[in-house]
A and B are shown apart, each in its own frame.
Chain A
Amino acid sequence: MKQHFRRLRSSAFARFALSYVLILTIVLACMFAYIFFYVEREVKENTLNSHVNRLSRIAYQHEDYLTTILNSAVQMGLSPDIQPFEFDQSPQKAYELLQQMAPYAVTNSFCDQMFLCFAGEDHLYSPSSSLPLEMFLNLVRYEHVSPEELQAMIRAPGAMTLLPAQRVESTLIDGNATDMVTILAPLGASAASSKGTMIFMLSEHVYRTMFADAIEDINNTYIIHNGKVLISSTDLDVPQDVILSNLSAGSDFHSDAITWNGEKWYLLNLPSSTWDLNYVTLLRASAITQSTRRSMVSATLLVAGLGVVGLLVALLLARRNARPIREIASMLPCKEGVMDEFSSIQTGIRELSARNTDLITRLERSLPMQRHDFVVQFMKGRYQAREDVVAAAAALGMSIDRPYYAIILHGMQTQGDNQPFDLRKPPFDGIPGTAAFGVELMAIKAHLYLVFSDTREAIVRLAEVIHQQSTERYGHAVVALSDVQTDFADAPSAYLEAATAFDNRFVMDDSQLLSYASISTSIEDILPQARRLTDAIDQALSLRDHARLSGRIDDLLNFLRHTNMSAFAFRLIYNDAIDKLLRRHAVTYASGQGGMAYYDIFTLSSCQSIDDLDQLLRRLCASIIDAPVADATSLVAEETPSVISQVADYMRVHFADPELSISAIAEAFEMPTARLSLAFKDEMHMSPLEYLTLLRVERSKELLAATEMSIKEIAAEVGYYDASSFIRRFKQMTGATPLQYRRSKEESNDAHADS
């Protein structure tokens, strides 16, 4: 039980519930305090204000009646149709007078009776009848006014006279006896006109209606005129003297607290100077106290009600808020003995945090591999959109969202640790606005750096720094740089550019940065000079001048060393040079087969650098210049163009066979490889290999344009074992990658279709 209570106390629900109930208690306590301190005053003010408003309304209505009465008396007195006459002499006028009075009876419909009496006349007139004054005085009996007094007032009304409410008995009045307020007004503008008197009798019912909204037993309402009560309500049995003696003078509204019969009362007095009237309410003070108590009880009940509702809401909210916490706690690993949800969450989060740290460590360890994968995927153009690339890189802690990027290939060294440079460390980190990532490419024995930068210059600068560091560290460096790209979709092209530049390390001066941009892809600019230099060697051979020959060879090699050219261009040039020398001096070494060995395809293909060419060329020239003079005409036998034509046909048929090679063709046509190459080049003006490449590229162009086959499928279709070789060859021949070519053809087709 104790344990259960402790568990409940430490639960999230209990904590929430306790908090909410505490807030609720504070709010309700404030409300109750406000009610306690302010309600009494508010209730009293409101009660008094409501009575003042009621008095104002009664005053307005009553004085509106008085004004109507006075106006009627004035208008009738001023009317030319209502003139004094003697009834006995002019009964016709009496008849007409009744007609004239009828509209005024409508205006004064709140009056029970309305009479007119001309000065000195013995008759009264109402809107429906005439009657003798004497009869009126005999029939209409006032409780406090004698017939003589009434007659005197009728005869000489003076100003407006208000007779306080009193019982009037008469068979002329409906019901025979009722309380009436009587108002006598001079007929005409003033009493001085002496035209006559108007008598208006208002039943107490008119006033009862005015006072109808009074609350019984709480107040009495009085209308006081000239120190006398004109009329009052009778809900409270309070002598009128009490009111009159306590009524203070003044022209503005005021309220006085008085004590009568041992009880406290409020006397509210609204004076009206127009008619010398006071509108008074006598209000029992206990009524206000009772109202206050009622309001307090109501307010307390309201607060209690709110408390109950608030408590329910608090418990519901606590339950609602505690539930997810309980669920979270149940999901987290929890140590035994931890009693409440918050502690469980705390322990669980710590546990998760420790596990997370371990995971992060492991993740970081595998980061180079993932980055390697990312770089490879990037280079292969596997990402659909730039956002995908950026997101994938960000997941590996790589910030690559920069406008420029390029690929740098850095040749591995044969000694040392051979790890890629860590470009986040000095001196590489001194180049602002760059982010670079290095991976190993074992296939080409190079390190690849993927560099992203805010400026083009920073990329070139970083490549130069790598070159410099490699040279300083290993004494030699091969660093190739692709063109600076902007579109991430061009990443495969960038790699090819870098690879092309890297391949040129054999034919270019690799003491400098190998930039794809600096490679001249056109041999047209190089070949004429190379041929002139070859002709100079030829001349030296013809002269059998060793020194001259060595000088000319040096000239050719220096030229090639200092010329930026692709490997393809290099091969064309050295094939061309050797072909020319062999042809010119075939007679020279016709007696022996040694010279032809230099033109074996494997010998030639092993010539990959200028140094290789240097050795090959010097050996060939030495063999020529040292050989005895012979008939060289047999060197070029009777291979007819028809045979070469057959070879070309054979190649056009079999170019898609990946096993097709120059040696295989030579074997098929039972010709030496070198003779086939020379005869083919002589007739076709290109080597068989170039022709074969040309056939494959042309066919691949058709497939790229006309089909949706993948690059890999097309490469296999035209005779390449792997796609990368095909792509490289294609770019060398056309200056564009197969993908770029396909896109350009599609755009061209779309343009045609649109036009």
Chain B
Amino acid sequence: MKKIVSLLLALMMLLGGVAVAEEKVQLTALQWALDNQSATDFNEMWYFQQIEEKTGVDVEFRMIGDDVWSTQLNLMFSTPKEMEDLIIRGSVDVEEYGVTQGLLLPLDEYLTEEIMPNYVSRLPLNNAGDSIPASDGKSYYIGYLIAQNVNHNSTWYINPELLQQVGKEVPTTIEEYTDVLRAFKDAGVKYPYSSSNSDYGAEHLWAQFASFGVPLQMYTFATIGEDGKVVFVGDLPGFRACCEWLHTLYTEGLMDKECLTQDSNVWANKVNAGEVGSFNYLRLINTALANPDTIQHFESMLPPASEYGVAVPQIMEIPEQGAYLTSTNNDPVASLKWIDAQLDTEMMMTASNGKLGEQMIVNDAGKYEVISVPENNGLYSFVPVAMGQFFAPGEYYTEVYQMAPHRVERYEDSQAYAAANVLEKISYEYLTKLSKMDNESSIEVANIKTELEKFIKESVIEFVKNGVTDESWNEFSETAKGIGSEKYVKLYQEAYDAYLAK
């Protein structure tokens, strides 16, 4: 009798188990899409069918193109009862909709080994999770990060064959560098040093300011000192010295006189023509520097040091926003498990690069390596690529992924610059990406920056052409103040202090 009862119970449990297994969690998602991929439909995508099989979570996507993302997002938040369960990719004002309105779900209590093992294990690497908490200390999104283990944009390059020809070593100081350029000129090099006027370009003339301890770039004209004080770059002592040095290069014909006016295309043509002895750029392997016969003769070097120190603008690999749960989410645990399933290494690599064995293999080193890329964005027909989930801090990414040569080049240069301690001590991205300002302050900072940018550009050109006198320097300093450099610094200081206080 007991056996019969046991058999019946077992049968009921089996049937119950089958029923539970077949019962899927139904969720909805507002999915951001690239402008050129807004027609892509995730609801029928092979990749998400695999994820659904693994997790038992069926997500119904509503695809929203980038051009209408803000509008659709605002519409969704305006009717909270009808919000989707998930928001995937796309930018959301976390402070407004998470901290203030409470329409986003804080995720901290769910970030456990049990629910999100992949994500939680990578968060501490490279301090990748540091920037995620909002002003209330809560995390409202899952990060999205494709780290390359790079720490700066502009690297110094020099032609070693020319060095050998003129009997010089790779320069380490600004004086040595100047001598090398003079030697290049004497050796008939048309442009001993060349750069462009392309804004935000790594080859821009402003990269040279790093050799004088001035981390000058286009994103902000403030930098954080080692003491935590924010400073206007024009107030750094190396700024005037660099301008005077550049004037020397200009007057002696050591630099391309068109550095101030030529675009990157003209500059690249000069490099490709073998007419340039030294320059700054992102990396050697790229499409602009298309003449391999020329490029193979260059090698990277550390920035020449001056008495003002060296401060190459440092960049950080900060996660973007990958996924959010709305406050009306039906099943946060299932939602986060569904996201974490996409962060499984193989699934994550597949999402970004294609199917294993077709577009990607695991090479002898045990790393995932891309072997082919379908034409015409063909990947998007079966995997989400840049619209999916990815969280790979540099430390983790380099272990599992066979990086392309151009990425390896930047990685190695970054390692060298970090080792030589030539980077800006505290990255300027603490100001531009991590420190938060209120709306009014943000607008004021942006307005001052616009004026400062125009003023610094014209001033540098003026200093390069005519040199720097006490009078012109004082005028520069006073004018910068008149534009609002002090207010500019003050606002950033407050924001940075607030960030540190958190």
A131: Cβ under 8 A from any B Cβ: yes
Q: Is the CB of A172 within 8 A of B269?
A: yes
User: A98 an interface residue at 8 Å Cβ cutoff?
Assistant: yes
In the complex, what residues of B have CB within 8 A of residue A171's CB? 265, 268-269, 272, 290
B269 touches A92 (CB 8 A): no
| Chain B residue with the shortest CB-CB distance to A174 | B265
CB-CB nearest in chain A for B269? A171
Residues 338 to 363 of chain B near chain A (Cβ within 8 Å) = none
CB distance from B265 to the nearest CB of A (A): 6
For the complex, give the distance between the alpha carbons of A115 and B408 in Å. Answer: 39
A94–B461 alpha-carbon span in the complex (Å): 11
Bound Cα distance from A126 to B262, whole angstroms: 9
Q: Determine whether A139 belongs to the interface, using a CB cutoff of 8 Å to chain B.
A: yes
Q: Is the CB of B266 within 8 A of A91?
A: no
Give the contacting residue for B260; candidates A88, A95, A128, A135; CB below 8 A. Answer: A95
With A and B bound together, what is the CA distance between A172 and B266 in angstroms? 7
- Which of B260, B269, B462 meets A94, CB within 8 Å? B260
User: A126: which B residues are within 8 A, CB to CB?
Assistant: 263
| B461 and A91 within 8 A (CB) | yes
A73 to B177, CA, bound (A): 44
CB of B442 within 8 Å of the partner chain:
no
CA A91 – CA B269 in complex, angstroms?
Answer: 20
Assess whether B138 is interfacial by the CB under 8 Å rule.
Answer: no
User: Is B257 an interface residue, CB under 8 A from the partner?
Assistant: yes
B60 near A: Cβ within 8 Å? no
> Is A129 an interface position by the 8 A CB rule?
yes
User: CB distance B257 to A129 under 8 Å?
Assistant: no
Note all chain A residues with C-beta closer than 8 A to B461. 91-92, 95
Q: Identify which of A91, A128, A172 contacts B257 (C-beta below 8 A).
A: A91
The answer to whether A98 and B261 touch across the interface, beta carbons within 8 angstroms, is: yes
Contact of A129 among B265, B458, B462, B465 (CB under 8 A): B265
Interface 1/0 per residue, A57-92 and B, CB below 8 Å: 000000000000000000000000000000110111
Q: Is the CB of B262 within 8 A of A129?
A: yes
Option from A92, A128, A132 in Cβ contact (under 8 Å) with B462? A92
Total contacts A-B at CB 8 Å = 55
Q: Write out the residue numbers on chain A whose beta carbons fall within 8 Å of the beta carbon of B197.
A: 95, 129
Bound complex: CA of A172 vs CA of B197, how far in Å? 16
CA of A171 to CA of B263 in the docked complex: distance in angstroms? 13
Chain A residue nearest to B258 in the complex (CB): A130
B261 contact set on A, CB distance < 8 A? 91, 94-95, 98, 125, 129-130
Please tell me if the beta carbons of B265 and A88 are within 8 angstroms of each other in the complex: no
- In this complex, what residue of A is CB-closest to B466? A92
* Minimum C-beta distance from B479 to chain A (A): 16
A88 surroundings in chain B (CB, below 8 A): 257
Interface string of B240-282 (1 = CB under 8 A from A): 0000000000000000011011110110111010000000000
Q: How far is the CB of A122 from chain B (nearest CB, A)?
A: 11
Q: How far is the CB of A133 from chain B (nearest CB, A)?
A: 12
Contact of B265 among A91, A125, A172 (CB under 8 A): A172
Give Cα distance in the complex from A172 to B258, angstroms. 16
Q: What 0/1 readout, one digit per residue, does chain A (85-115) give for beta carbons within 8 Å of chain B?
A: 0011011101100100000000000000000
Indicate which residue in A87, A94, A95, A135 contacts B266 across the interface (CB closer than 8 Å). Answer: A135
CB within 8 Å of B: which of A140-185?
171-172
C-beta contact mask, B273-309 vs A, less than 8 Å → 1, else 0?
0000000000000000010000000000000000000
- Judge whether A130 and B262 touch: CB under 8 Å: yes
Q: Are B465 and A92 in contact, with the CB atoms below 8 A? A: yes
Cα-based distance from A673 to B248 in the complex (angstroms): 176
B443-479 vs A: 1/0 string, CB under 8 Å? 0000000000000001001101100000000000000
Q: Contact: B269 with A135, CB < 8 Å?
A: yes
Instruction: Return chain B residues, CB-CB under 8 Å to A94.
Output: 258, 260-261
Is B465 in contact with A130, judged by CB distance below 8 angstroms? no
Residue of B nearest to A139 (CB): B269
Per the bound structure, the CA–CA distance linking A95 and B270 in Å amounts to 19
Q: Nearest chain A CB to B450's CB is how many angstroms away?
A: 15
Check B269 against A87 for contact (C-beta < 8 Å): no
A128 / chain B contacts, CB cutoff of 8 Å: 263
**A129 — nearest CB in chain B belongs to which residue?**
B263
Q: Which residues of A contact B462 (CB under 8 A)?
A: 92
Which residues does chain A contribute within 8 Å of B270, judged by CB atoms?
A: 135
Nearest B-chain residue to A123, judged by Cβ:
B258
Residue of A nearest to B250 (CB): A91
A92 surroundings in chain B (CB, below 8 A)? 260, 461-462, 465
Residue of A nearest to B264 (CB): A129
How far does the alpha carbon of A131 sit from the alpha carbon of B464 in the complex, in Å? 19
A135 to B256, CA, bound (A): 14
Shortest beta-carbon distance, A526 to chain B, in Å? 113
Q: Which residues of A contact B262 (CB under 8 A)?
A: 129-131
Taking the nearest CB of chain B, how far is it from the CB of A135, in angstroms? Answer: 7
Assembled-state Cα–Cα distance A135/B271 (Å): 12
Interfacial chain B residues near A87, Cβ < 8 Å: 257-258
Contact partners of A125 in chain B: CB under 8 A: 261
Residues in A with CB closer than 8 Å to B458 are: 95
A87 to B258, CA, bound (A): 9
Looking across the interface, which residue of chain B has its beta carbon closest to that of A90? Answer: B465
Give bound CA distance, A132 to B275, whole Å: 13
Q: Given the complex of chains A and B, what is the CA–CA distance between A98 and B199 in angstroms?
A: 14
Q: Which of B146-193 contact A (CB under 8 A)?
A: none
Residues from chain A with a CB closer than 8 A to the CB of B263 are 126, 128-129
With the chains together, A131 CA to B461 CA distance in Å? 17
Q: Which residues of the other chain, B, contact A135 by a CB distance below 8 angstroms?
A: 266, 269-270
Bound-state CA distance A171–B258 (Å) is 18
How many angstroms from the CA of A87 to the CA of B256 in the assembled complex?
12
In the bound assembly, the distance between CA atoms of A92 and B259 in angstroms comes to: 11
A396 to B196, CA, bound (A): 121
A549 to B310: give the CA distance in the assembly, Å: 182
B:474-495 near A, CB below 8 Å: none
* Complex Cα gap A480–B310 (Å): 152
Cβ-defined contact, A131 with B258, below 8 A = yes
Q: With A and B bound together, what is the CA distance between A139 and B268 in angstroms?
A: 12
Contacts of B269 in A (CB 8 A): 135, 139, 171-172
Q: Chain B residues with Cβ under 8 A from A98's Cβ?
A: 261
Question: In the assembled complex, which residues on chain B have CB atoms less than 8 Å from the CB atom of A91?
Answer: 257-258, 260-261, 461, 464-465
Q: Give a binary string over B72-99; 1 marks a CB under 8 Å from any A CB, 0 the rest.
A: 0000000000000000000000000000
Q: How far is the CB of A94 from chain B (nearest CB, A)?
A: 4
A488 to B261, CA, bound (A): 120
8 Å CB interface, A209-229 against B: none
From A87, A92, A98, name the one whose CB has the most chain B CB atoms within 10 angstroms. Answer: A92
Considering the complex, give the chain B residue whose CB is closest to the CB of A126: B263
Closest residue of A by beta carbon distance from B196: A129
Q: How far is the CA of A129 from the CA of B196 in the complex (A)?
A: 9
C-alpha gap A130/B257 in the complex (Å): 10
25 contacts between A and B (CB under 8 A): A87-B257, A87-B258, A90-B465, A91-B461, A91-B464, A92-B260, A92-B462, A92-B465, A94-B258, A95-B197, A95-B261, A95-B461, A98-B261, A126-B263, A129-B196, A129-B197, A129-B258, A129-B262, A129-B266, A130-B261, A131-B258, A131-B266, A135-B269, A171-B265, A172-B266
18 more CB-based (< 8 A) A-B contacts, given A87-B258, A90-B465, A139-B269: A87-B257, A91-B257, A91-B461, A91-B465, A92-B465, A94-B260, A94-B261, A126-B263, A128-B263, A129-B262, A129-B263, A130-B262, A131-B262, A131-B266, A135-B266, A135-B270, A171-B272, A171-B290
B interface with A by C-beta (< 8 Å)? 196-197, 257-258, 260-263, 265-266, 268-270, 272, 290, 458, 461-462, 464-465
Q: Report A's interface with B, CB cutoff 8 A.
A: 87-88, 90-92, 94-95, 98, 125-126, 128-132, 135, 139, 171-172
Which 4 A-B residue pairings sit nearest by Cβ, starting from the closest? A129-B263, A130-B261, A94-B261, A131-B266
